[in-house]
Structure formats: C-alpha cells, structure tokens
Structure 1
Amino acid sequence: MDTSTMLTMTRLATREPGAMPALDAPAFRRPLSRRSFLAAAGATAVSLAILKTASAQDGGDITAQMAIPFRTTTDLNLRESPSTSARVLKVMPSGAYVTGGETIQAGFRRVSYQGTLGWAFDEYLSETNGGSFDPGPVIGVRLTTVRVNFRTGPTQLHDVIMVLDADTRLEVSAMTDGGYRFAWLPAETSQGQRRAGWVADAYLKAETTTPPPPPPPTGSPVTVLASLNLRSAPSTSSSVLLVMPEGATARWSGVSRDGFLQVTYGSTTGWAFAEYLQVASGPVAGYGRTTAALNLREQPNLSARVLLVIPEGAEIRLGDQFSNGFRSVTYQGTSGWASTAYIRVA
C-alpha cells in the first residue's frame, strides 16, 4: 500500500472536518485509463504558469490553459495544493461542473470551481460524465462598459480569447461563476458558430433601447387658457391625471360631455373643462345630435332667453366656442348656446 493511499484511508477513517464524504485519492487501485496514464507520465514535469499582461479589465494578468470541462464523479475536496495534507478550500458535490488544465501533480489536477482555483484528485474528474455543459438559453443582451477580456473560463487564469471594446454587444446566459458570466458574441464565425466565453459581470450593462416615437397627434388643436386639470373622467370629482400649463396646446378628440372636452396632452388623454379651452381657428368636427329635447339659448347660461327647443335626436351644427358648460351650435339656421351634457358628437 503506497503512502498516498494510507494517508487517504487514515483521513477517511478520522472523517476530516468539512469533508466527511469527500474523496481526494482512491482507497483502492483500479485500471488506469489512457487519460490517467498520460497524466501520470507527465506528472514529473511541473507546468510553469504563462505570464501575460492583460490589455483589458478583469483584474488579472496571468493566463493559462484551463478550458477543459469536467464533472466530479463523487463529492470531492478542492485543495490548496496537490497533496492530501493540504488545506481544503471547498467540497465540490458529485456532478459539479469544473474547468481544468493539463497540469497534474501527484495525481491532482489544477481546476477552477465557482471562481476558486485549487487542486482535485484527477481520478474523480470525468470528461465523459457530462463534461460538456449547457449554459442555458440567452436571457438578454448586455454591453461592455470598458475594454474587457473575453476568456475561455471564469477565472483570471483562463486564456484571453480576445479583448472586447467598450460597447461590444453580447448575448448573455444566466450562468455566472466567480464574478464572470457566460456569453456569446452575436456574430457567427466562418464555421457558422457563435463564439462563446466568459466576461467579468462587473463590466456589463443592460442594453437600453430608444422607445419608438409617439404617433402623430390627432384631433383638433386647442389652447389652454389657464392652468387646467386634465381629469380621468368628465367630472370635477374624478382624479387629476396632470395639470396642463397656461398656453399649452392639446388635441381635442371631438368628444364633449357635461361641460368637458376629451383631449390629449402629450401622451395622456383625459377630460378638461371646456370653458378654459380655446379651439383653434378653422373647421371643427362639425355635426352632432341632441340626446334629449334641448333649449337653444341666446347666451351660455340658464337665465338667458330660449330661442327655440331642439327636439331629441335632431342634427345640429357644432360651433367652436365653449362657456359655462354650454357650446355654440346652429339648428335650422338659428345660432345660439346649448348644454354640452345633451349633445353627442356625430
């Protein structure tokens, strides 16, 4: 029995804190896979980290090949160095997704798990057990805020695929790891595939879209003669949507009720008291009908002389003046004032 196995069995027997079910090294021998054999053959050579000065943001300068995807085949300790006596940084659950490099020492492989770099026993890492991962669908679009590295994995030790300029558009997934987010460049490569990688989430912002311009206003223009409430209904007891300033221009839909006109100011449509609105010169949607027998008066008030009585359902010519809940109208050649409460615009 070799020293590594004895150490492992001893630790399993003593149930080391925080890693009770986790494994670093096998407690029994099994046939070496081709990958394990090649890894063991190369274990005598220590890989040197490649130093490279990053030209963009993400807080690091060192890059290395750490782009091989793995899954853990059991609960597995992530250690500070390639030894069963090294400090346990995390316990990775069975089936956890990790990325690793080619560096193997004493049977341990250098890997990254959720942004933490460490060493895990290689025999419990599988490239075939779901090694390729599914980052999920595109959840939105982000823009880079500065020049930022686009990396092969979610750490500063992963290779830089390319440097993205500020305002580069990326399609992003919900997958994050150690402050990095998995994303795609929208443009396809010459092979018809989108380039994917990891980018520091802190340097991404939501893409803002310019809202479409509002449709051109419709209806007759009216001028606000004094600061005037725009209400939700044709009543002084209804809620105030906003206050139109004196001199503002609104658009009248042609509908009037109970002394109010239905108007649109900006993008808000509501009701405003007709007496404080001046319809612009020119023809106004011209005809309406009475909803009841209606007095045609000489002046816009209830004490004014009645010129005639307009029968219910009669067609009348609508004028452009409003006052005190009355509107100027013409019926069979006689002009006067009639209550807007009993006029329906045709």
Structure 2
Amino acid sequence: MIMIKRRITILIIGIICMFMFSSCSGLSSKSVKTNFNKISFTQEKGGLMKVKHSSGYFYGQSLWVANCKEYITLRESASTSADALARMPLYAHVTYIADAPNGFLQVVYNGLTGYALAEYLDEYEPQIAIGQYMVVVKCRESITLRKNPSTKAGEICQIPLGDVVYAVKESANGFYMVEYKGRTGYALASYLSSINGGGQTGSGDYYYGQPLWVVKCKEYITLRASASTSAEALDRIPLYAQVTYIGDARNGFLYVIYDGQSGYALEEYLDEYEPQVAIGQYMTVAYCKQSITLRKKPSTKADEICQIPLGDVVYAIKDAGNGFYMVTYGNKTGYVLSEYLRYS
C-alpha cells in the first residue's frame, strides 16, 4: 500500500514538472515575471535570458549622465549623505548593475562601483554637436585642456572663459577632443556651448565658419568684448589677418574668432576675398619706434629670433597668415608683422 502511494506521488510530481517545462519552453520574446524584487526575465534568441529590473534597465546596460549642469556624484551607498566616490561629468558613460533604494541605481563608472540618482541617468546616448566651434562657458576664469580624457590627466594649458575651441570629436568620460590655438587635447563637454550659426547665412551673406580678412585699415583693427566701439579691447587684428565668421551682431559688428579668441569686429574692415598681397620682393621696416621682432613662427607669442631696426630692408618670401610675412633678414629667416613693412 505504501509503495502504491509513493508511485502515485511521483507520478503527480512528474506531471507538474512536465507542465511547467512545456510552459517555459514555449517562450520567445514574452516575459515571465516573478514577484521577487520586481524582476522580469526575457528569453532571447538562442535561449539566453535577459534580466530586466523594475527601473526598466537590464544588467550591463549603458547609461549616460544627463539633466544636470556639470556633474553628478557617485556615492558609496544609496543615500545623498553617503561618502562621495567620484564626480561623473555631464554626458559621461556608466554601466547599470542594479536598482537601489531612495531613487538610486548601482552603476560602474570608470572602473568604480557606486550609487547614482536615477533621475540624472538616461538610456539614450546624447547627440552632441561636434565638428564645429564652441565657446567656453559655466566656469569662473578658465577650463583645463588635458592630455587625455580624464580629470586626472596632465594639463596642456588653461582656456579662458569666453574663448573658442574647435570640437573635433566626442571622447570618453564626458570629454571632447578639441583644438585650441594649435594645441589638441581634451576638455569637459559640460563647459562648452555651441555657437549659433551652423552654416546659416547672416545679413552680410556670410556663413558660419567662413574665413574673412582684415582690410581697409592702416595697421590693425580691434577685437572687442562686445559689439561696441567703447567695449574692452581683447586684441589687435593686423591688416590682412584672417578671422572666422560666427554670426552677425549689432552696431555694424560681426562676431568672429581670431587666434582662438572670440570677440567682435567692425564689418566694414572685413572682407570675404583673400587679399592679393605683393610678395617676393624687398620691403622696408616702417611705422615703428625703433625696431620690429623677427619671430620663429607667425604668432606674436612665438619666440624671438632678433630685432630688425627701423629703416632696414627684408626680403618678403610669402604671406604666412595671421598678418605675418615670412621674410629673410641677413642670413636669418623668420616671421614679421606685415603692418610694419612698406614697399621699398
């Protein structure tokens, strides 16, 4: 009698198992939900199971920092009062691990595991404008151009507030690869803002990024902090120097970039046609008090080779841009500002 009862029990258990197996094996893209921690399991092609939590994210999913000004905090536990492990910049990439209490998610950032508020994370990769000029914003004085896309990487230089960089491409950890005054490095995207334009035509029929040249002046024009002749002077732009058009401004000014710095210049002294400057001839140093500087590169910040006295003669080889000529003086070759030369 006992043996019969055991056989009946085994038979019943077998029928239950067969029913459960047939139900589960029929899954394709449907979900089997359990009441345990609100986790759903989805059987994918090939029989693999993907775990999806109540937040809607699955283990290992990529998320990006969003909806903040500069950064959010990665914390040691799921609390706003917990110790801070790291700052995760705007647009930084993290990896989802699991849901956590108090509106937090457990994530991995740059190899470090911690907790971040879900409201500042998004599953959609941000579409960030690159391949264009951007201006430095949201800082007190300057931001750091670094050798690698990390806040711990070595510094190349400081980029002042309001200066313009060229965004080459999006990099890791919330950084952009950018070019600034001949240097290439990495800057945090959260401190860069797109400049309006993007190929649109202004009232002067110029397009965003178009090169313009300084003309119709004796020596130079002034790059100013705002669109007014009484505004602070940021730099002098020599005759024949090239600038980049960004947009129209009021009071007859254009918003331009010169030598990596953005500012305003009077439109009447700018032209879209590159000036045909006479070179390949001897020229005399003029319009200075005592002498001018022969430099190693066509930049006022380049190292000095020597001084060329007022009235001495040089041989102009070619137009080097930025208002400079490549010249030969004695047995030395370098660069001088063309505004201090006149035809012999």
| TM-score, normalised with respect to structure 1 | 0.27
Which structure has the larger Rg?
A: 1
| TM-score, normalised with respect to structure 2 | 0.27
Higher RCO (C-alpha 8 Å, min separation 6) = 1
